[in-house]
A and B are shown apart, each in its own frame.
Chain A
Amino acid sequence: MLFDDIFNDFFTKSVYPEGVLQEVQEQKCSHCGMTLSEFNRIGRFGCEHCYEELGPGVKPLIQRVQNSLTYEGKIPHRGASALKVEQQLRHLRQQLQEAVAHEKFEEAAKLRDQIKELSAKV
């Protein structure tokens, strides 16, 4: 299918400059056996560990596909409470920046206190 062709070509060429490709394609996930060349061919990871195990090319790939590297969505109820706080802190810091930029200093002060309080919990 056309979509897959474009996609795979995109995977291969966008992440690795020519010449480097041969070498890095030998990278392999120790959990599921997915190799980088197979990943480039099918455009799918083989398991959750591939995201780390397939090497430094994964991050720029995700950045390209998603135009972001920061997760902003739902957090599972179990075992990720630190992450939830982190996400809240990120939002508060963003709001703080905006408040300062718009010279809303009272609001900024409040936000700063909230950030302090929340940071102490981590």
Chain B
Amino acid sequence: MAQAVLHTAKVQAMLDEPLTSWLKDSTDNPIVISSRVRLARNFKGIPFTNRNDETALTKVDTMANGLLTPLRIAYGTEFSKIDLMNLSPQERAVLVEKHLMSPNLAKVPSHRSLLVSDDSRVAVMVNEEDHLRIQAMTAGLNLHKAYEVANNIDDAIESKYDYAFHEQYGYITACPTNVGTGMRASVMLHLAGLSMTKRLDNLVNSLSQLGFSVRGLYGEGSEALGHMYQVSNQKTLGVSENDSIEALTRVVKNLVHEEEKARDDLLSKRKLDLEDRLWRAYGTLQYARRLSGEEALSLLSDVKLGQDLQLLPVSDLHMFNQLVVTTRPNFLMKMMGKSDASPDERDAYRATVIRDALRS
């Protein structure tokens, strides 16, 4: 059992809230869930995290303590530093499920921490694969805004500490796939129509040929649970941050257009099939007594599609985004107040949570 540590009220609220506040921002299009920009940075003269050098890890951690004030001044809200050693494994997993940090950071908690703004839009991972991973998130498609925020944070850090920077290669990172701008911009999309019409595989292939990668809900190697896909840039050298963001924005707009076409096709050519599928999903979620995580996300995706197409009587705009978080195993167990719930117990509780949400 992990030692129970009392968190500040802010950190506790961050762990408890089912939906990160910024996801409630209104967006123009229900297909685009969120945008994110992350910058990989390393301090000059300190070996990277993979060297596992105690002195280096401690030094970076101490430097991170010194960032709380500059970050507050640059961004305008307070930042909390969450030392991962002070979280239980389950609480760490919840932060991963909420996309505030990577599974990689949660794996080895010692010397690892997260600097997070009060509104949860900015989260800086400390001692991940690179010394710092600056992340800025927005609802909907707004990569320019996310970059602007990340860039300001980056400037604030650079005004205090020197970064490892190479004349030819730009910002130096542990992995050569990030060297240069160190920037990975990504957009989370709900592509239910393209998945149903089986047109996604072709699109994914052509996107990767164009230098964009498409991954599932939880990044590398994760499946496209609930028809959620993350599209991101691959190259970090030979292209500027702005050009990269503009190219990705164009690609996402095209994908949205294709998704809309797929939905129109379904509506005009297979309306009854579609309605039957969506109502069945709605019915199952309203009455099922046991739901696995995977089944829940797949049915929730159908219900969201029905909501977006105004085929189902669901009005709560945030229900999908919220349930995507609350039905994940660790968040669920936190709500159950049980860190060792069996899969069967979790599936029963998940079904209850979803039934309640659909009734309210």
Contacts and interface: CB of A to CB of B under 8 A. Distances in A.
B135 interface: no
A62 B155 contact: no
B13 interface: no
A58 B169 CA distance: 11
Given A48-B172, A51-B169, A68-B235, A3 B221 contact: yes
Nearest to A71: B170
A70 B237 contact: yes
**Interface size bucket, A side?**
35 or more
Contacts of A61: 176
B208 to A, nearest CB: 13
A47 B44 contact: no
Nearest to B167: A83
Nearest to B154: A74
A116 interface: no
Interface residues of B, number: 45
Interface of B: 42, 44-48, 50-51, 53, 129, 151, 154-155, 158-159, 162-177, 179-181, 183, 220-221, 235-241, 243
A44 B174 contact: yes
Contacts, number: 116
7 contacts: A65-B176, A66-B235, A68-B237, A69-B168, A71-B166, A71-B238, A72-B240
A118 interface: no
A102 to B, nearest CB: 21
Contacts of B239: 68, 72-73
B47 A32 contact: yes
A66 B236 contact: yes
